[in-house]
Amino acid sequence: MPDPSLKVTDNRTGKSYDLKIQDGTIKAMDIRQMQTGPDDFGLMSHDPAFTNTTSCRSKITFIDGDVGILEYRGYPIAELAEHAKFTEVSYALLNGDLPTKAQHDAFAGELAKRATLPAGLLKILDGLPKGGHPMPALMALCAGLGTYNNDARHVRDKAVRREHMTRIIAQMPLLAAAVWRHRKGLPQVNARPELGYVGNFVWMIRAADQNDRTPVNPVIEKAMDILFTLHGDHEQNCSAAAMRAVGSSECDPYSCTGAAIAALSGPLHGGANEEVLRMLAEIGNVSKIPAFLDGVRNKKAKLMGFGHRVYKSYDPRAKIIQKVCHEVFGVTGKNSKIDIAVELERIALAEKYFIERNLYPNVDFYSGLIYESLGFDPSYFTVLFAVPRTSGWLSQYDEMLEDPEQKIARPRQIYLGHRGRKVAPVAER
């Protein structure tokens, strides 16, 4: 059986080309040879937003959006959520396999050992307004952390890189908690790593002060652990692509993580659950749903938390989150917006507009309801996404740096602007 290939005829020249097909793709560089003459640069492909272009080979996360499959390192997301703790998932994302007990204990110990921040770092927060959005504040702390870790620039040294990746994963919950406490005017606290990765984070959010020994509610810790797992990675989404693109310049992992935080903060990506809550509050009650959906059909509004670039069926994470919702409500009391959300979903899934466009709830449709019930305000939700996604980002970064096929990311463009214009002195323009 010959190697699969694609025969293409360039009708401009009549020439035919055999393009190799590997892993269901052709190489964009293989079409460059298609030229109309010696002065022609060669054919390029145009793919704004990379909707049909692969940018890497990866072994981290598999998604089949048509049937709603999500696997990290080959492990289905539902099984991970049920049988593994987030730190096991983080280990698997970074290393390829779920850890043995000994490996997990060692990894948890490595994280615990690094769960402390440089003494002066949080002074950055003193210069930031309490009412500012928490994502830029998290970004500032993450980038600032890099200034305490100058050797992190040696990204080609695997041991150095791994050390800083572990530090960032260990310290991201501390940065996130510090941002929360700054916004709430609470005194900063040091981590209590003996509570575990997620348990300590929940404690750092809720503690009145360093001496607060109120135990972390196990239902809430478990719910947060599952939410962390669901947000661990999602292959080449906007923030992972940002992480890889910025990292391809061999930029240090702190700055790259800052760039990924920026990408995640947008309302079309990690900021969507914040928008879902605003939307549910605006709708206000179930009787207003039909009018709201009229607006969606007429393109006056989007049904936030619905639709996905990759999932054209039910996002598997949304199903798991629905279950977690009810467990959390058992502790916190029911969030009244859940009735609006459930009814919105029921009506939308039966409507032609959504069916024709394969629009289903995504992970963000229900996650905000849980976060709100836990006392988080909507603008902080994306921070809760960034903490676990840090493990995914760094796994993508590591894989990218180890991949001999990768180079500095540098897309091409189709230039449509002016050429060769005369520069008249300002007074004559």
Angle formed at CA 168 by CA 167 and CA 172, multiple of 5 degrees: 120
State which of residues 303, 374, 386, 394 lies at the interface with ligand ACO (CB under 6 A): 303
Residue 99 or 307: the one with the smaller Cβ distance to ligand ACO is 307
Q: Which stretch binds ligand ACO (CB under 6 A): 11-19, 140-148, 212-220, 361-369?
A: 361-369
Counting residues that bind ligand ACO (by CB under 6 A) gives 18
63: three-class secondary structure by DSSP: strand
Cβ-closest position to ligand ACO: 307
Of 364, 398, 403, 418, the active-site residue reads 364
Of 225, 308, 315, 398, the active-site residue reads 308
Query: Is 47 labeled as catalytic in the residue annotation?
Result: no
- Dist. CA 205–CA 226, nearest whole Å: 17
- Nearest CA-CA partner of 135 in 265, 291, 311, 325: 265
Q: Which stretch binds ligand ACO (CB under 6 A): 53-61, 78-86, 196-204, 268-276?
A: 268-276
State which of residues 162, 302, 312, 323 lies at the interface with ligand ACO (CB under 6 A): 302
Residue 86 or 306: the one with the smaller Cβ distance to ligand ACO is 306
Residue 191 or 369: the one with the smaller Cβ distance to ligand ACO is 369
DSSP state string for 153-168: G-TT-HHHHHHHHHHH
Residue 98 or 226: the one with the smaller Cβ distance to ligand ACO is 226
* 33-to-44, 321, 415 alpha-carbon distances in Å: 10, 49, 20
Q: Which residues are registered as beta bridge partners of 18?
A: 7
The torsion defined by the Cα of 217, 218, 224 and 226, in degrees rounded to 10, comes to: -170
Residue 418's Cβ-count burial label (10 Å; 0-12, 13-18, 19+) is exposed
- Dist. CA 135–CA 114, nearest whole Å: 23
Residue 352 or 419: the one with the smaller Cβ distance to ligand ACO is 352
Shortest separation between residue 401's beta carbon and ligand ACO, angstroms: 25
Query: Is 308 labeled as catalytic in the residue annotation?
Result: yes
Q: Pattern 211-250, binding to ligand ACO, x per CB under 6 A? A: ----------------------------------------
Shortest separation between residue 298's beta carbon and ligand ACO, angstroms: 10
- Dist. CA 132–CA 162, nearest whole Å: 32
Residue 104 or 389: the one with the smaller Cβ distance to ligand ACO is 389
- Dist. CA 56–CA 399, nearest whole Å: 9
280: three-class secondary structure by DSSP: helix
State which of residues 172, 296, 340, 370 lies at the interface with ligand ACO (CB under 6 A): 296
Query: Is 269 labeled as catalytic in the residue annotation?
Result: yes
C-alpha neighbours within 13 Å on the C-beta side of residue 234: 26
Dihedral of alpha carbons 55, 56, 57, 61, sign:
negative
The torsion defined by the Cα of 78, 80, 83 and 84, in degrees rounded to 10, comes to: -150
Does residue number 140 form part of the binding site for ligand ACO (CB under 6 A)?
A: no
State which of residues 244, 269, 337, 389 lies at the interface with ligand ACO (CB under 6 A): 269
Binders of ligand ACO among residues 331 to 360 (CB under 6 A) are 357, 359
Q: Which residues are registered as beta bridge partners of 404?
A: none
Q: Pattern 305-324, binding to ligand ACO, x per CB under 6 A? A: xxxxx---------------
Residue 191 or 304: the one with the smaller Cβ distance to ligand ACO is 304
- Which helix (H) or strand (E) element contains residue 62? strand 61-64
Q: Which residues are registered as beta bridge partners of 342?
A: none
Shortest separation between residue 309's beta carbon and ligand ACO, angstroms: 4
Binders of ligand ACO among residues 35 to 54 (CB under 6 A) are none
Interface positions with ligand ACO (CB under 6 A) = 268-270, 272, 296, 302-309, 357, 359, 362-364
Q: Which residues are catalytic?
A: 269, 308, 364
